[in-house]
Amino acid sequence: MTAPKAIRLYPAIDVREGRVVRLAQGDYARETRYPADPLAQAMAYADAGVDALHLVDLDAAREGGYTLLPLLRAIAEDGRLQVQTGGGVRGDDDVLRILDAGAARVVVGSLAVKETARVAGWLQQFGAERIVVALDTRCDDDGVWRLPVHGWTQGSGIELDALLDRYAAAGARHLLCTDIARDGMLGGPNFALYQRITQGWPAFAVQASGGVREAADVAAARNAGCEGIVLGRALLEGRFTLADALREVAAC
């Protein structure tokens, strides 16, 4: 497979109780808080020269009911960042409110696993460019990739491959896939998983997520066939800068 010519950076801001945080392997009990205000952090990313942002409502991911509309509006009004955002998306009204508040795309996670037909309907209703299917996955003891839900706190028993087939058939375009074992651990993304997906389901524009540790991971994700990469903890902790990552993009 020929790797895409470019890869897009998505700095991530995960918000819990109004604070910028990161969770280790999706565990709400293993939270790291960062001092920046979420809006100030978003503006800092825009100042650094990126044009996209991945915004997550962690409170809503467990309880439902997206709560970050004021923050989303403020970022959208600035005009420099295209925001993809989710957490707690449960119904048509959630999608409409998020899009009306200025999001470029709505990220759908738990519902994409539990109610495939509804999300497939959204792909038709709102267009494949406005929906990101987020499939967060763990490899079980038998080597099968399965999909937990509700902020990664509950098992679904559903296999990743089966859902990839369904969403490919439904016309999904944007796929964000996280290997939960890598998330927040700074051990490097699971490039083998992403290469498997991009080769097996080439219609998806895959975003790598989980475990990014250095700017070189940007080029590695691109070489695995990904069209985007989410940058979380390593960026917040200064292990590399957006300037470093942007140089990797330019070199691709």
Query: What are the residue numbers of the active site?
Result: 14, 136
The closest of 7, 91, 78 to 46, measured between CA atoms, is: 78
Residues 6+ positions from 18 with CB-CB distance below 8 Å = 38
Residues 6+ positions from 237 with CB-CB distance below 8 Å = none
For residue 126, CA distances in Å to 82, 99, 104, 214 come to 17, 10, 11, 35
**Backbone φ, ψ for residue 111 (5° rounding):** -65, -30
**Backbone φ, ψ for residue 100 (5° rounding):** -65, -30
The closest of 138, 222, 218, 144 to 182, measured between CA atoms, is: 138
Task: Residue 113: count other Cβ atoms within 10 Å of its Cβ.
Answer: 24
Task: Residue 14: count other Cβ atoms within 10 Å of its Cβ.
Answer: 23
d(CA 106, CA 95): 7
